[in-house]
């Protein structure tokens, strides 16, 4: 008689709004985004983004993909993406995220841990990436090093300083 909907929510949409003048106490869990303009006491979990508006006040821990703070948050924040504290935003608590942005005028009192571990390549691709990085770094050094130790005996020139790491260069180009 009653069938359960199997529709999955899009985490890029905002499906929950805690309006200004609303006081909510308890736990919120959503598969989509949450916008908070009122007051919440309790934990907030979202597979999408959480936005705390200018009049929003949150006294809880937040776990989400990204968090934008224009109001006040008293609690810890954990994200898979970024935490952005706008010029009117205040965060009183700790955060673990991949990216932390605090605009001028924004307030952050707590500890931050910028963790890029989730942004690394899967283990199957890691050896290939490591080999490519070794090729990139070895390219400038190989061209400035002498072919053998005997060729430097008569030379009075000091060895060339080590070049800066070749970020962004492929193994076929040289930054020098």
pLDDT band at 9 (very low <50, low <70, confident <90, very high): low
Distance CA(153)–CA(161), nearest Å, equals: 18
Residues, the chain: 176
C-alpha distances (whole Å) from 5 to each of 2, 9, 46, 59, 89 are 9, 11, 20, 32, 38
pLDDT band at 4 (very low <50, low <70, confident <90, very high): low
Burial 125-139 (b: 16+ CB within 10 A, else e): eeeeeeeeeeebbeb
> Where does a domain end: 97, 115, 133?
115
Judge if 69 and 137 occupy the same domain.
Answer: no
pTM attached to this predicted model: 0.61
Within-domain flag for 75: yes
pLDDT at 30 over 80: yes
Judge if 61 and 126 occupy the same domain.
Answer: no
Neighbouring CB atoms inside 10 A of 48's CB total 21
pLDDT at 169 over 50: no
Within-domain flag for 69: yes
Judge if 64 and 128 occupy the same domain.
Answer: no
Radius of gyration for the alpha carbons in the chain, expressed in angstroms and rounded: 25
Range of the domain at 123: 119-142+163-169
Within-domain flag for 151: no
Judge if 59 and 124 occupy the same domain.
Answer: no
- Report whether 79 contacts 97 (CB < 8 A): yes
Q: Residue for token digits 């919120």?
A: 28
Within-domain flag for 35: yes
Distance CA(80)–CA(9), nearest Å, equals: 18
Judge if 63 and 123 occupy the same domain.
Answer: no
How many structural domains comprise the chain?
2
Distance CA(167)–CA(82), nearest Å, equals: 24
Q: What percent of the chain has pLDDT over 90?
A: 52
Judge if 75 and 93 occupy the same domain.
Answer: yes
């Amino acid at each position: 008689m009653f069938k359960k909907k199997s529709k999955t929510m899009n985490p890029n949409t905002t499906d929950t709004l805690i309006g200004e003048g609303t006081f909510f106490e308890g736990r919120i869990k959503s598969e989509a985004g949450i916008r908070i303009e009122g007051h919440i006491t309790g934990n907030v979990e979202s597979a999408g983004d959480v936005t705390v508006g200018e009049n929003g006040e949150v006294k809880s821990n937040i776990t989400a993909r990204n968090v934008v703070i224009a109001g006040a948050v008293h609690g810890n924040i954990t994200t898979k993406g970024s935490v952005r504290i706008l010029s009117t935003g205040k965060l009183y608590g700790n955060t673990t995220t991949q990216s932390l942005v605090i605009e001028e005028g924004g307030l952050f009192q707590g500890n931050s841990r910028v963790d890029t571990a989730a942004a690394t390549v899967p283990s199957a691709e890691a050896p290939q990436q490591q080999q490519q990085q070794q090729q990139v770094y070895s390219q400038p050094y190989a061209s400035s090093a002498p072919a053998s130790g005997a060729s430097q005996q008569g030379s009075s020139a000091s060895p060339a300083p080590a070049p800066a790491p070749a970020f962004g260069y492929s193994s076929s180009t040289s930054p020098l």
